[in-house]
Amino acid sequence: MSLASDDQPFGTLLLVSTPIGNLGDMTFRALETLKSASAVLAEDTRHTRKLFAHFGVHNQLIAYHDHNKERVTPSLLERLRGGQSLALVTDAGTPGISDPGYYLLRAAIAEGIPIAVLPGANAILPALLLSGFPTDAFVFEGFLPRKKGELERKLRALEAERRTFIAFVSRHALLGVLRQIERLLPQRQLAVVREITKIHEEVLRGDAAALASHFEREGARGEIVLLVKGAGK
């Protein structure tokens, strides 16, 4: 492990959670951190500028995303080693979960740089509670595979999964995923949770066939979390 000298302590990588919809979910600690950090790393600076404007935050914004993370990470580590603290945000929710922030997090840990996580809004736990499915044990997948074969293998593994299964699904992929589940796990209970904390928040529960029929008629919109009740639950 790398250790900082007494006369030049390392800065801290600050993982700052931001609202997933309702701006009232921003925490006081998150706001103070975004204002006081040496700079803020954002997945989409355009999105984060809107957040800054709403809350009156004025700080340097640096783009940090999948397309530049390998190139810019060394310079960010240098700033952290030099004593600067950098705040990391994602477009919504907690950074480092299914986004490029995880790459910087791992790099900072490897360098012995201190990490601080500022908890706040996320889609996973609210979706779990809204589903009504068992909360004592659950598994989070992130985004489901796009390729049909990989998706089928992932869903087949759920036949014996006793924990509540949680995944992010894009609105474009939702109907195809539901039809696959209808074919592979026709009796399993599902929940589709949309637009958490937003005006049009919605929870739909039922089997895959019923949910697929609904979204064929109504279309799928917004940010979506899919949950599958555990086997035998």
Boundaries of every domain in the chain: 13-118, 124-228
CATH of 124-228, one of 3.30.950.10, 3.30.70.360, 1.20.1740.10, 3.40.190.10: 3.30.950.10
Coil, strand or helix: which one is 194?
strand
Where residue 133 falls among pLDDT bands split at 50, 70, 90? very high
Comparison of pLDDT for 184 and 8, the residue scoring more:
184
What is the token pair recorded at 89? 């945000």
Q: Tell me which residue of 53, 125, 66 sits closest to 94, measured CA to CA.
A: 125
- How far apart are alpha carbons 16 and 126 in whole angstroms? 18
Where residue 1 falls among pLDDT bands split at 50, 70, 90? very low
pLDDT in the model for residue 233: 73
Q: Tell me which residue of 13, 46, 14 sits closest to 31, measured CA to CA.
A: 14
Comparison of pLDDT for 7 and 35, the residue scoring more:
35
The answer to whether the 13-118 and 124-228 domains have the same CATH topology is: no
pLDDT in the model for residue 2: 39
Homologous superfamily of 13-118: Tetrapyrrole methylase, N-terminal domain (3.40.1010.10)
